[in-house]
Amino acid sequence: MSQRMVYQTEETRQKILVAAETLFVEDGFFDAQMKEIAVAVGISRNSLYRYFQDKNDLGYAVLGVVFNRIESYFDLLLADPVLNAGLCGREQLRMILQAGFLNDDLRADFSFMAEFDAHFSGSRIPVDFQSRIGTSVSTSMWSRVGEIVATGMADGSIRQDFNLNALEALVLYSVKALQGHILLRRSALVGLSSAEVNQLVPNLITVLIDGLKPTEPQ
């Protein structure tokens, strides 16, 4: 057993994750400091490093917690019997996007994801980024959304002139990217009132869902 593992307890680890998530959202991933997280938990910085090698290591762990929480919420939505009440695949997708990405209860989670994405960008993307993400988050929620897109393509409510994976990625990443940009910039988006900013994601979802309608034959 490594020296780092000897001094670890699950209770302290969970306290670290909660404190880190709060500071990452409030101060930003880049500005949040390990010493501040240690103070918030009530441990020394050296003790903190027994649990996590550095801030990046801690960030991956928080991402896993946040993503699992978001996924649990989406799983409840996908299990909603309303989705099986005769709605076509395209309308099921509209419901999922609106209920998920416009939910105020998930704002802090999406804010962390926006901070995480902003930090791990450009030259700050480590060479092991893909593998680390793969061990931090589950992809079942994304697969379930892909199943809804596939259902829509099969029932004729979603266009079939695009690859299934391409459409799934387009929908999820475009909504997530715009939402993340808004959460990071908030009131600093140039040329838009707060009311207009609040309508950006709902309007994008509408445009995306309308754009998924089958194309008319030429």
Q: What's the rounded Cα separation, in Å, for the pair 56 and 41?
A: 18
DSSP 70-106: HHHHHHHHHT-GGGGSS--HHHHHHHHHHHHHT-GGG
Q: What's the rounded Cα separation, in Å, for the pair 33 and 210?
A: 44
Q: Which residues, including other chains, have CB under 8 Å from residue 97's CB and lie 6 or more apart?
A: 171, 175, 205, 208, 209
49 pLDDT tier (thresholds 50, 70, 90) = very high
Q: Give the three-class secondary structure for 44.
A: coil
Per-residue DSSP letter, 218: -
Quote the tokens at residue 57: 């290591």
Q: What's the rounded Cα separation, in Å, for the pair 218 and 212?
A: 17
pLDDT value for 140 = 67
Angle at 28 between CA 23 and CA 34, to 5 degrees: 50
Give the HSE-up count for residue 169: Cα atoms under 13 Å, Cβ half-sphere.
5
Q: Which residues, including other chains, have CB under 8 Å from residue 145's CB and lie 6 or more apart?
A: 74, 93, 96, 168, 171, 172
Its CATH architecture, for the domain 8-52, is Orthogonal Bundle (1.10)
Tens digit of each residue's pLDDT (9 = 90 or more) over 83-140: 667 889 999 999 989 988 999 999 999 999 999 999 999 998 989 888 888 776 666 6
* Reported pTM: 0.85
Q: Which residue has the higher pLDDT, 179 or 130?
A: 179
Alpha helices by DSSP H, 28-88:
34-41, 45-51, 55-78
pLDDT value for 175 = 94
Q: State the average pLDDT over residues 179-198.
A: 88
Q: What's the rounded Cα separation, in Å, for the pair 91 and 217?
A: 22
The domain limits of the chain are 8-52, 72-211
Q: Which fold has domain 72-211?
A: Tetracycline Repressor; domain 2 (1.10.357)
Q: In terms of C-beta density within 10 A (0-12 exposed, 13-18 middle, 19 or more buried), how is residue 102 classed? A: middle
Q: What's the rounded Cα separation, in Å, for the pair 120 and 147?
A: 29
Query: Do 8-52 and 72-211 show the same overall fold?
Result: no
pLDDT value for 217 = 57
Please say if the pLDDT value at position 6 is more than 60. no
